[in-house]
Structure 1
Amino acid sequence: MSRAALVVIDVQESFRQRPIWAYVSRPDVVDRVGRLVAHARARGDLVIWVLHAEPGSGGVFDPALGHVRLIDGLRPEPGEPTLVKTAHNAFTTTNLQQLLTMAGVHALTVCGIRTEQCVETTTRLGCDLGYQMTFVTDATATFPTPHRDLPETATPEEILADPRTMSTAEMTARTEYALAGRFAVVRTVDEVTGDPATTPDHRTAATAAAPAGDVAS
């Protein structure tokens, strides 16, 4: 029998150690992810947790610093795998596909951090591998994105002051437009956890109407 799975990507302490966390698009991302997790468990869906690590980097994703762990408020239950990846997507450097195949999973719901990076990349690859993908935008989070010419050492204040910076609202909307109808069905937490007979099939409106200058959605 075909099963579904929820993949929670990189909702980890590493991000909270960066100064840019003060401008995260969804300060309540843990609560939103928690709602999806509770819903998946109630349905009997498989819940898979993914963390990102950069061993030996000396940065916040280096496991030696102790930040490669779920943010407080999230905890796997027995039988829920926790995978550690070293690539942007959750498939390439883990046995995620093997786990899904063994469990008979054909439909994936994804959420986590960052919206346009690891979550979107996992969604694209999952689609290419033949999974039915659902991208829950408002259970993802991202940050103001600097222009490619801005130095990597730029402070959050310098990033926000640069008119070329892409706001979280713009980045989230871009991701939705890129995925919807091509790689995934875009849903909200309410749509996923509510009655499917009464929830509409549409792109989330929260970011579609956001003003271009909005930095933290």
Structure 2
Amino acid sequence: MNTALIVIDVQESFRRQSRWDRISNPGIAADVARLVEHARAVGDPVLWVLHAEPGSGGAFDPESGAVRLLDGLEPAAGEPVLVKRVHNAFTTTDLEQQLERRGIRSVRLAGIRTEQCVETTARLASDLGYRVEVVLDATATHPLALHDGSGELSADEVIARTAAALAGRFATITTIAEVLGAAVPVEPAGAPGAA
């Protein structure tokens, strides 16, 4: 079964924000490029997703020129670039139709922000019946303020929380090394696709 690689929001908009210096994985473009190269080599489709907030005047406004992939990433001919306006990659795009046309029932996710657009997409994909993998070290995020203003979770804590919330419920958590080595990730009991 082919697995579609979905690259979510690895875009210049984030690099232009003042918080970029606190991003957990400033080398995410190179990490994603390795996954893209692998997907293309094994014949898996690659789909690109960007986030836009038209009229916002910020880094996610298409008028800013920042709603584009980070340097080092380039879609190949035939690889769709979808533009979303909400957290998940499905609701405001034709991602599901793109996957259906290709006969895809398994997706592999990478991107920015681990706990926001990547996690939300993973949850929705699982609910839609896809087998979902999240390549955790090919995601990135920032520290996250606690709801009561008493401090923050570090980016590493946010990523660990996301992995714990998704694993065995909505997705299998993988690594770049597992994907590139074609190692089969261990699925916890009760995970989507587990026997």
Does the alignment reach a TM-score above 0.5?
Answer: yes
5+ residue gaps, structure 1: 151-162, 204-217
SS in structure 2 at match of 1:79: coil
- Deviation, structure 1 residue 148: 3.3
Q: After TM superposition, give the deviation of residue 27 of structure 1 in Å.
A: 1.3
Helix, strand or coil for the counterpart of 1:6?
strand
SS at match of 1:105: coil
Measured against aligned partners, the alpha-carbon deviations of 1:178-197 in whole angstroms (never above 9, x if no partner) come to 0001000000000011042x
Q: 1:18 to 1:85 in 2, by over 3 A?
A: same
4+ residue segments displaced more than 2 Å: 147-150, 199-203
Separation in 1, partners of 2:112, 2:77: 23
Could you list the runs of 5+ residues in structure 2 that have no partner in the other structure? 189-195
In the alignment, does 2:91 pair up with 1:92?
A: yes
Q: Which amino acid aligns with 1:169?
A: D
Tell me what 2:186 maps to.
Answer: 201
Does the residue aligned with 2:78 lie in a helix, a strand or coil? coil
RMSD between superposed Cα atoms in Å: 1.4
| Residues 1-217 of structure 1: pairs in structure 2 closer than 5 A | 2-150=1-149, 164-196=151-183, 201=186
- Name the residue aligned to 2:193: none
On the 8 A contact 2:173/2:185 being kept in 1, the answer is no
| Residues 90-99 or 24-33, more deviating | 24-33
TM-score scaled to structure 2, two decimals?
0.93
1:99-154 CA-to-partner distances (Å, cap 9, x unmatched) read 1001100100000000000000000000000000000000000001123355xxxx
How far off is 1:23 after superposition? Answer: 0.9
Contact 2:109 2:134 in 1 (8 A): yes
Q: Is the 8 A contact 2:10 2:112 kept in 1?
A: yes
- Which residue matches 1:210? none
In structure 1, give the amino acid aligned to 2:34. Answer: R
Task: Name the CA shift for 1:103/1:15 in 2 (closer, same or farther; >3 Å).
Answer: same
| Paired residue total | 188
Q: Is the 8 A contact 1:187 1:202 kept in 2?
A: no
The SS at the match of 1:30 is: helix
Q: Percent identity?
A: 56
Contact 2:112 2:141 in 1 (8 A): yes
Sort the Cα spacing of 1:103 and 1:195 in 2 relative to 1 into closer, same or farther, 3 A.
Answer: closer
Larger radius of gyration: 1
SS at match of 1:122: helix
Give, in whole Å, the separation in 2 of the partners of 1:200 and 1:68. Answer: 33
Give distance in 2, aligned partners of 1:177 and 1:149: 22
CA contact (8 A) 1:115 1:140 kept: yes
